[in-house]
Amino acid sequence: MGATRVIETLVLSLLLLLSGSSATQRKKTRAAPRMPCKQMVFYFHDILYNGENAKNATSAIVGAPAWGNRTILAGQNHFGNVVVFDDPITLDNNLLSIPVGRAQGFYLYDRKDYFTAWLGFSFFFNSTQHRGSITFAGADPLNKTRDISVIGGTGDFFMARGIATLMTDAVEGDVYFRLQVYIKLFECW
């Protein structure tokens, strides 16, 4: 009986050893890339208050470094400026188009050595096409195109997750810029 138990133990050990080695020899495969469940393109138009355009301004400098002021962005890379905004969102690049919502939030310039910003904002929709909000956050190195995270949403965009690709579409001095925002949602409810 003792010899039978030894043989059973050896056979079981051999099977475990072989099954473990075959599992480690399996070819590792990557999951197929996920396709977005929803894609949208919007434009938001930012008009910075410069001391003379209070009627049309949609953003304002609320924080400036000691050497700066609140009507002109500071220095070469705007380091230390904090800007809040309430910008119109349109379906095309025309500022005078009917807005489909508002972009509300802030951006701050956070690097001395090169031009970059950090963004935190939401798109608020109240139209026949969309209702609810999409929230964004992330670093913006101000390259030609750059990605920031979609970190949530409400209404039609409840718990949305994804990526927003930003592209500066137009710039007029330090007063006006327009961003094209291409949104790819990977979690849609």
pLDDT class of 180 with cuts at 50, 70, 90? very high
The residue with greater pLDDT, 28 or 163, is 163
Rg (CA), the chain: 26
Backbone dihedral angles phi then psi of residue 160, each to the nearest 5 degrees: -65, 145
Q: Where are the beta strands (DSSP E) in the chain?
A: 38-47, 59-63, 82-90, 101-109, 117-126, 131-140, 145-155, 161-172, 176-187
pLDDT in tens, 39-97: 999 999 999 999 999 999 999 999 988 888 888 787 777 888 899 999 999 999 999 99
Strands 145-155 and 161-172: antiparallel
pLDDT class of 164 with cuts at 50, 70, 90? very high
CATH superfamily, with its number, for domain 34-187 = Allene oxide cyclase-like (2.40.480.10)
Q: Where are the domains of the chain?
A: 34-187
Give CA–CA dist 99/38, Å, rounded: 20
CA 167 remoteness from chain centre: 12
- Which residues make beta-bridge pairs with 42? 181
The residue with greater pLDDT, 80 or 14, is 80
Backbone dihedral angles phi then psi of residue 16, each to the nearest 5 degrees: -65, -40
pLDDT at 98 (0 to 100): 94
In the block, tokens 């139209």 appear at: 127
**168 close to 177: Cβ distance less than 8 angstroms:** yes
- Which residues make beta-bridge pairs with 122? 104, 135
